[in-house]
Each structure stands twice: as C-alpha cells, then as structure tokens.
Structure 1
Amino acid sequence: MPLKVERKCTNYKNCSDKFTCPSTDFTKQYCSIYLARLEQMEVLLMDRIKQKWGNKYPVCKLHKLSEEQYTKCIVIGTLFKDQKLKPSVLKRIAEGNQLVPQPILTHFTDESDVLFMEDEVQRYQLSGIGNIDIKKLVTGISCALLGKDEGKGKFKVDEFIFANMRDQIERPVLTESLYVLFLSGINFVEHEKIALHLQLLTYWISGLLGNTDLISRVCRVVIAGNSIRNKPPKAKPTISLVSRTTESPETIEAVKNFDSFLLKMCQVIDIDIMPGEHDPSNHILPQRPIHFCMFPESSLYKSFNQVSNPYFCEVEGIKIIGTSGQPINDILRYSDITSNLEAMESCLIWNHLAPTAPDTLGCFPFYNKDPFILTQCPHVLFAGNQEQFGTKFVTGEDGQKICLISIPDFSKTFQGVLLNLKDLSCKSISFQTN
C-alpha cells in the first residue's frame, strides 16, 4: 500500500528499560515489594513532610509509638484496606465445592472496609480519619499521617499527605502540530466484526482517503494491548487435576491476522505494540514485549516496535507513559472511584502506576526497587482498554501539567485517540463504516 504523502520525522526514545527486565527470582516473598516500595517512597515523603509541617512534629516508626508516647507525631507507612468482599482462594474453593454460595461481584467496596497502616514491623488500625475518604483509597499506597497513638493498636489521624507528583521538565515548544495515534482492544479473534473498520484505518493512515496534510503529521501509532482478544477464552470443563491449556485455532488465526494488519501499517508509519491482559505474553506486570516470532512478516520492518506494558517513551521530548489498562481497572474495582480519569489522577498523586500490585494485581516479586514508582512526572499519562474516550488536564502543586488520556476499546467503539504533541490536545477519531 503506497504512501501518498511524505510523513514528518520525529525524535523518539524508548525509556522502558526498567519494565523490560523484571526480576525472575521467584524465591522471594511478595512482602519484599512493599518493603522496597516504602524504602523508596519514604525519601519522597520526607521531602513532603518538610514542605508541609517543617520540623514542628517528630517522625516516629510505628513500632516505637507505644514507647515514645508523643502527644502528636508523624508516621510513614503503606496503607492496607481490609475488605470483606475481596475475592480469596478460600472463597473460590468453597464455591467450587458448593459449600457456600458466592455472589458474582465486579466491585468490592463495602461500608465495613477498614483502613490500616503498616511498615517493616508493625500494623496499626487508623481511626478518626476525618477528611480521608477510605472509599477512594486502595491497598498499597504509601503516605505520611499526622496524629497520635490511641493505644490498643489504633492511630488517630488528623492530617495526611501523599508523595504527590514528581518534578517535571519543561515541555518542549514545537513549531508545528505532530500527532500520535493511540489504539487499544482491537480484538482480532473477532476479525470479521472489525475487518472493514481496520481497512478504513489503514486507508486513512496511508493517506488514501485524503486530508494528506493531517496524515503527514501523524508520526507514530501506539497500540495499547488486547490486540488478540479483549476477554479470556471460555474454559473447557475437565476432570484433570493438571491445568493444561493449548491455544485455540481462533487465537492462532487471530495472531496471523494481526501480523497481516501490522505489515500494512509498518510500511507507512512507526508502530509500537504493547501487550495487554489477554494477549500472548506473561500475565503479571510488567508485561514483556510480545515475542517477535508471533510476527514473522511485520517484524522485518524497522518501523515495527515491540514494547512493554507499562510503556514509557519520549517523542520530540514529550514524555509519554501509560499502561494497557489493568492498574486503572483494578483501582476501579477496589475503590469507589468511578471515573478512569480520576483513577489516573490519583496514581499521579500517589506517585505510583500500579498501587494495587501485588495485592489484587499480579506482578513480579521485586525486592530491590519498585519499577512502578514514578521517578519523574510525565507530560502524558494514558490507559488503554477503557469503556470510552476521555481526556483531562491536571495541574500539580509545583505547576506540573499532565494530559490524561482514556483510550477506548476499539472492538466496541471503533475509535482511536489522536494526540497533538504541540499543545497536548486530544480528540477521538472514528473508523466507523456506517
């Protein structure tokens, strides 16, 4: 498919090294993740403590509270949310043996949820939390609390602070509009349903439908996961005690069709392929790039890029980071946050891409550093496989300005998202054929 226009060239850098080489040592306990997270976040929280309270209050370890008996002090730790509706292995066993019927739930918050704080040694139940909305919090957030020990393992909270957004480099000034196209949830197992829409997409990106000035400024395509399927295949009943699954013919055919689609795209534009929750990649985060053997035709092109999930890159100096949607969807399940854009903003305030990992979201057992901690503030934060398109600008306390992007599921909406790098404005673009 020949390109009818000359496409603008851009400077690009993949900055996802910390996501592509996760630890493979599974002999460590998962508690080491929280210890590593707290160790890194404590440094950031101490800076925030000095900004907010100075040296007015002492900082005390949780296990020293009963000894020091401060009238008011600051403690630093990781929040744990005790939820009776949270799924557990024991509940699944009971359900499987028909001992106790379990209701089917997709949301796990309840009025009885209790908040705790823990550090390397001790756990305290939080009381009198005032303006802290428990329902908007999840397990795994690092924070600092001002209050006093009430005895009997309870800490009364007066005020609280999170790590908040990191420093942000000034956004480069571009003299002309340049665009990045975001897609997610293409779902090639339903190829017949999406074939015409994808054909329209390839015609559009190739400049065959006109509007060549705009098309020439689209410099990159990012596909944010669930390209093969957007939901798990139905499990077949078996009496075997050994869990063994083979790829279905429809999955193999979907991979072939995806490769054929990418072959057309790679001939005209640079394209980044992120794995998603239901793609043929490792299930736990961070997900490694999908293996090149899946793409015998398209992987021959230099414009074809397999990237990780989460994915962090720079395009013309604009820092872009995001996921295929699993962390955001998990936050929505375990809190009363109802907007995916609000969940993304919360991740910036908590300074963590996936706070619920490893409690309710699978991840590698890191024990030195937590790669999901944001070490710098991006200019763009995106999440794939969402119900609908959405965008929002958020501003930090130190003037950071971040564009949030909710990328809709393509197989349901037939929409992509076009980001203008010049001013970070976003708009949805439809590839509906009727």
Structure 2
Amino acid sequence: MESKILNAIKLAINEGFQISADCYEYLKGIDGENIEKIILKCIEILSSKEKNKLIIDLETIKTSYKELFENSDKNRLLSGKSSKEILAKEYVSNINVIEDFNGKPICDVKGFVEYFKNRYKKLERIFHERFDVKDSIKINQALNLPDKTRFKVVGLVSRKVMKSSRLMVELEDEDSFIELIGLDREVIDKGKFVFEDQVICVDAVKYTNNLFVIKDFIWPDIPSKSLKKSETPLCVAFISDLHVGSKLFNKILFERFIQWINLKIGPPELRNIASRVKYVIINGDLVDGIGIYPDQINELEITDISEQYAEVYRFLSKLPDYIDIVITPGNHDATRKSLPQPPIIRDYAESLYNDDRFHMYGNPLSIKVHGVDILIYHGKSLDDILTKVPGLNYRTPEKGAELLLKCRHLAPIYGASTPLAPMDEDKLVISSIPDIMNLGHVHVYGYKKYRGVSIISSSTWQNQTTFQKKLGLFPTPGIVPILDLQNSEIKTIDFNNLNY
C-alpha cells in the first residue's frame, strides 16, 4: 500500500503537481489498485478546469473518487453491493458456542490434584496424536531401561533448575517421577521455554547410575491447518480493554470507532468495510474496576462498579442495531478472578444483559462465526509468559500467544500472577485448534500467523497508566483489527489517524 501511494505521488510530481499532506491518510484507506486511477483523474480535473492550481488537495481527491466510482454503475463494495446498502443488515446472526470453558471449582487440595491429573491426561492424548511421540513410554518403564537406551517420556514438569552450564528437569506422570539433566547448549537454551507445571515430552538417554540425559524437548504444538474461509461476505471487529471508569479512558478515540461503524466518518473504502461489520467481539476489561492495581483510585473517574458498567452501556448502545456484540470478561471486570472466569456478574451490568444484541460469556470462549472457529481469551497469563521467557516482551504479545499454542494451554504456569480455579477438568487445555486466536490484556496491538492460525492481540482504549509506566509498558490505543470472514484477511484501522 505504501509503495502504491509513493508511486502515485511520483506520478503527480512528474506531471507538475504536488499532493497536500492531508491526502495521505485518505489514500491509505483506498484500495491500492485504485490509487493511481484517482491521481490521474485529479490531474485530468485540474488540467482542464484550474490550470493555475498545482496542488492536489483532499477535496479534489474526493471529487475524483466520486466521479470514478460512486457515480458509476460499476461501483461495488468489497461485498459486491451498492455503496448505498449496508450489507451486514441483510444477514441473520450466526454465532455458535463450540466450548464454554466454565466449570465449578473444587475448593480443596483434592481439587488441585484432580486438576493437574486431568491436565496431564489431556495433553498426553494430544502428544500421542503426534507421529514422533507415538513411541513414548511411561516413566516407570524408563527407570527400568538398560543403560545407553534412548527413549521418550511425556510428563508434567514438577521442578526445573537452570544454571549456565546445565539444566535439571523433574518430570512426573500418574505413577512415577524422573530427574533428567541437560548438558548440551542447545538443550539448555530450549529449556528456557519449558515451564514448571507444563506437560512436555522429553527425548533422553539412560546412562549408568540412573543418569538420564536430555537430548531434546518436544512440545505438544499444533499441526499446520489450511485457511478456512466463509461464504458470507461479513466482517468481525475485535476490541478489548476499554477501561471505562478510568480518567485515562480515551473517549475521543472510542467515539471515532462508534462513528466509523455507523458509517459517519472515514474514506469510502473504510466505510464500505464498516457496512460489512456484523459482529464486535469485546475481549475483556470493559471497565477499569476498583482496587485492581496500586493507587488506582487516583486515576478513576467513576468509583462505583455498577456506574462504570452503566457508562459502558451508554457507549455501546450507540452501535448499530444490526450488530451482535460478544462480551467476555477480563481481570478488571466484575467476576471471579481465577481462570476460567464466569461471565460478568449480571447484578453489576443489568443493562447489557437486558439488550438482546449483547451476548455475555465467560473467559475463555470458543465460538464458530459463519463457519470460522474463534478462540477468545483475555490473556492474563501473558504477564507470566512475556516476563519469564527470554526474547519475549510486552511489545510483541502475539509471540507470547504463539507459545501458548505450542504448549496447547492458555495458562501453562501455575503459582505466578495468573490465578487458576481447581476443577476436576483442566478447561484451559487447547483441545481443538482455532482459525482465529484473539487475546487482549496487554494493551498492545499485534498480529501474526502461526501454522495457519491467525493470532490477534487486540488494542486498548485506555492511555498509559502510572502503573504501566513503571512497568515500561507502552499501550497502542485505538487500533482495531477487522477480520474479513470471506478470506480470513485482517484489515487494521488506526483511529488515531481517522478523524473525518
């Protein structure tokens, strides 16, 4: 896109014209294939009517676009419909819950025992689907192997000790435990990505005196999957972390988002995209809450949690009535803090529950939208992943999400900053592979593809807090990724630059 705009600018300069600065952002919202046509039309208009005018301004750009496309019978939206139509109105909502991760906690030691047993069993089954792990054996079998035998075992990491020249990992399964050491530099480096309480496969060799040496680690990981496309020409907008109630909630940016989705602002092609948005997914932290981080009270504009949700509804009720809004909670919302989280408590957010457009679910959530599988997870465990793994940081949350896919678990680390609810089933295991994995929490936009899965880290609508400043976290507010269900492509709209 940038190259097409630059080529168009060069074309204008070669013809003796310059382009005003305010045209650049407008051209970014135009289909790249049409930019040169528009500039040529501008040159034609100015050459024939205003021979003394050598600046192509925004008004001329808009006039050219209108003459080329809006006044032509050939004009179509990305959906193939007339620009006067709102395509999303023409389709019935199609959201199906694949998995609701909620369950009832078992609040005793037995609950944690059953929880980790189930984690092991689920991930062991996933490992056995891998061709290279089918020959793995139980730990008690490995303990009785003859010397110099190579083997693979799947176990839960009960302890890990890292030193500069070696690594020690203790694995356990349902019956036994084993201590293994890593001596090779490559193995030690891989060990940095191994967490306590995660289920991993170790490729090792048994030597004399029950010395077990690690040769490699194997993660459960996900197989590559083909791109899934829907036949429906609709779009999904992903947002999160509004933090309504905070003095730092950026109302101006959020109002721009609402105006855009109501087709009131933006260049024609971005309005065309807005006309196809049928769903808005809000991935947690609708409100700032109360008492979540040190000295938060000093940054609150609304200090009553119910009033914070009332203000949320005041904003969200402005979304078009043909749009369905999926809402899941985050760690700032009024619900249980431990994962998996139930939906936001109704007593605090009655207005959201009373409006049929809003679909209130727990965190995480797996849904199918017109045939496309979307895993929605707020992402609290990214705090642990991004701070413990070398090379990862808050600037690239999508890389942390990729590691969660490799681990096949949304919160592989227990006992750090992410509270987990003990249950008889570990519902945070990623049993089925999504087409889209959407996270929030970090307040930084990010996107990448991993083995056919589109990873989307939603942005925020809150400016940097004093607490974030101390952590060195720099949010990227007002950036909205839009998923085109027909081709699984992501279009990113930065509302910091969209104000007309």
SS state at 1:222 partner: strand
Q: 1:253 to 1:167 in 2, by over 3 A?
A: same
Structure 1 match to 2:456: 405
Structure 1 match to 2:325: 271
* C-alpha contact (below 8 Å) 2:281/2:325 kept by paired residues: yes
Q: Which is higher, the Rg of structure 1 or of structure 2? A: 2
Aligned residues: 384
* C-alpha contact (below 8 Å) 1:139/1:359 kept by paired residues: no
Within-5 A mapping of 1:14-413: 14-17=97-100, 19-20=101-102, 22-27=103-108, 28-48=110-130, 51-52=131-132, 59-69=136-146, 71-82=149-160, 114-128=168-182, 130=184, 131-132=186-187, 133-150=190-207, 155-165=212-222, 171-174=228-231, 176=233, 178-190=234-246, 193-209=249-265, 211=268, 212-229=271-288, 232-234=292-294, 249-265=303-319, 267-338=321-392, 339-357=396-414, 360-367=417-424, 369-395=425-451, 401-412=452-463, 413=477
- Gaps in structure 1 of 5+ consecutive residues: 85-108, 238-247, 396-400
- Distance (Å, rounded) in 1 between the aligned partners of 2:142 and 2:348: 56
Instruction: Give the drift of 1:153.
Output: 6.9
TM-score (normalised: structure 2)? 0.69
* C-alpha contact (below 8 Å) 1:166/1:374 kept by paired residues: no
SS state at 1:297 partner: helix
* C-alpha contact (below 8 Å) 2:133/2:152 kept by paired residues: no
Identity of aligned residues (%): 21
- Distance (Å, rounded) in 2 between the aligned partners of 1:66 and 1:337: 35
- Distance (Å, rounded) in 2 between the aligned partners of 1:112 and 1:157: 10
Structure 1 match to 2:57: none
Q: Deviations over 1:366-398 (max 9, x none)?
A: 22x321122221111121122422211122xxx
Instruction: Give the drift of 1:4.
Output: 8.6
Q: 1:82 to 1:306 in 2, by over 3 A?
A: same
Query: Which has the higher relative contact order, 1 or 2, with Cα contacts under 8 A spaced 6 or more apart?
Result: 1
Instruction: Give the drift of 1:217.
Output: 0.4
SS state at 1:385 partner: coil
SS state at 1:190 partner: coil
Q: 1:24 to 1:141 in 2, by over 3 A?
A: closer
* C-alpha contact (below 8 Å) 1:166/1:351 kept by paired residues: no
Instruction: Give the drift of 1:282.
Output: 0.4
SS state at 1:353 partner: coil
Whether 1:7 aligns to 2:66 is: no
Instruction: Give the drift of 1:150.
Output: 4.5
Instruction: Give the drift of 1:154.
Output: 5.1
- Gaps in structure 2 of 5+ consecutive residues: 1-83, 464-476
SS state at 1:336 partner: coil
- The more displaced of 213-222 and 297-306 is 297-306
- Distance (Å, rounded) in 2 between the aligned partners of 1:337 and 1:140: 21
Q: Deviations over 1:298-325 (max 9, x none)?
A: 3322111111111211111000103112
* C-alpha contact (below 8 Å) 1:181/1:417 kept by paired residues: yes
TM-score (normalised: structure 1)? 0.78
Q: 1:150 to 1:362 in 2, by over 3 A?
A: farther
- Distance (Å, rounded) in 2 between the aligned partners of 1:54 and 1:29: 30
* C-alpha contact (below 8 Å) 1:409/1:415 kept by paired residues: yes
Supply the AA of the counterpart residue of 1:219.
Answer: K
- Distance (Å, rounded) in 1 between the aligned partners of 2:96 and 2:330: 21
Cα RMSD for the two superposed structures: 3.2
Q: 1:217 to 1:6 in 2, by over 3 A?
A: closer
Within-5 A mapping of 1:394-433: 394-395=450-451, 401-412=452-463, 413-432=477-496
* C-alpha contact (below 8 Å) 1:81/1:115 kept by paired residues: yes
